[in-house]
Amino acid sequence: MKHHQWKYARISLILVIAGWIIYATLNLLAPQTTSARYQLSPTQTLLLQISVYTPLLIIWVLAIRGATAFKSYSLLLQGGREARAMSLIGTGLLWTVVYLLSSSLTGAIVPYFQGTQWLETAVTVRNHAPAWTALIAFGLLYLGSRRLSQVAPFATWNAATIILLIGYGLFAAGFANTFLAAGTETRFGIPSYALPHQVLLFTMLLPYLLAWFLGLLAAINLTRYAAQVKGVLYRQALRYLVLGVLSVVIFAVIVQVLSLASRFFLGFDLARLLFTVYVLLALYGLGFWFVNLGARNLARIENAP
């Protein structure tokens, strides 16, 4: 069977690996805030960093391969009813990879501005880039998932969605309130933010809250599409794809909630933080692996001679 690949798949993989090298180098050469914080020796710090960066590379590669496999699949659908929807979802998945890179790289670069006039700018970029990237990613996933209702009719809004909205509204209000009440934190000379909380509420927190909700709606839409769409074999192939996209959305939301909360108002000890990061990263990577598998299964139908 022919194997069609998105023309930017290879360059995307190269960029992700380059991003990982830059990220690891920035961290290895950075002032050792981690060792100071947890009183680790240089060797212990190096081992700790290697134990984090190696799985991170695997996750990032799985992520970009999953996203590009989906994008490649969506290109096979040209002219089809679901083509535009799948293309938007594919682009959304690519943006979730951009989120992974932007959140890591902007965080890694901040220590280099310590003691300079650019520190506040670097902190502001670190706080905003991931929030807006997440909004673009989940916004595209939502738009794509919504369009799938043109292929297999389903309703996004029903009693269950309203209950979810109410629950999410309470969570969002509580999260925003805790954020506003949190005090100023400066760790090893790096402030957690450089703008007033009232400004960050609109420029950073609101994009996150909107992104997470759109991500959840996208997950709901995909589940309903998978339940409604015709085709025994199509649904079998779609199963892994839906499972993968759901995992990516849900674990991306959890990672973002935890990383935001830990930066602003939660204190984790090292063991708990590492365990949480490993588990979430593994599940996140597993989600992209499922996306890859599902996209390849669906591409087999489209490529069948």
- Interface ranges with other proteins (CB under 8 A): 1, 77, 79-82, 151-152, 229-238, 298, 300-302, 304-305
Judged by beta carbon, residue 78 or residue 186, the one nearer other proteins is 78
Q: How far is the CB of 234 from other proteins (least distance, A)?
A: 3
Burial of 2: CB neighbours in 10 Å, binned 0-12, 13-18, 19+: exposed
**How many residues in the chain?**
305
Judged by beta carbon, residue 168 or residue 234, the one nearer other proteins is 234
Judged by beta carbon, residue 234 or residue 268, the one nearer other proteins is 234
Q: How far is the CB of 279 from other proteins (least distance, A)?
A: 34
Judged by beta carbon, residue 1 or residue 271, the one nearer other proteins is 1
Q: How far is the CB of 236 from other proteins (least distance, A)?
A: 7
Judged by beta carbon, residue 60 or residue 225, the one nearer other proteins is 225
In the chain, what are the helix, strand and coil shares in percent, each to the nearest 5? 80, 0, 20
Judged by beta carbon, residue 77 or residue 282, the one nearer other proteins is 77
Nearest-CA neighbor of 194 among 243, 129, 263, 127?
127
Residue 76: partners with Cβ closer than 8 Å, 6 or more residues away:
4, 299, 302, 303
* Alpha-carbon gap, residue 15 to 156, rounded angstroms: 36
User: What DSSP element (H or E) covers 7?
Assistant: none
Judged by beta carbon, residue 80 or residue 167, the one nearer other proteins is 80
Residue 116: partners with Cβ closer than 8 Å, 6 or more residues away:
none
Q: How far is the CB of 81 from other proteins (least distance, A)?
A: 6
Q: How far is the CB of 237 from other proteins (least distance, A)?
A: 8
Residue 163: partners with Cβ closer than 8 Å, 6 or more residues away:
none
Q: How far is the CB of 232 from other proteins (least distance, A)?
A: 5
Q: How far is the CB of 65 from other proteins (least distance, A)?
A: 22
Q: Which residues of 35-57 are buried (b: 16+ CB within 10 A; e: fewer)?
A: beeeebeeeebeebbeebbeebb
Q: How far is the CB of 294 from other proteins (least distance, A)?
A: 13
Residue 140: partners with Cβ closer than 8 Å, 6 or more residues away:
88, 89, 91, 92, 95
Judged by beta carbon, residue 3 or residue 230, the one nearer other proteins is 230
Is 292 within 8 Å of 61 (Cβ atoms)? no
Burial of 114: CB neighbours in 10 Å, binned 0-12, 13-18, 19+: middle
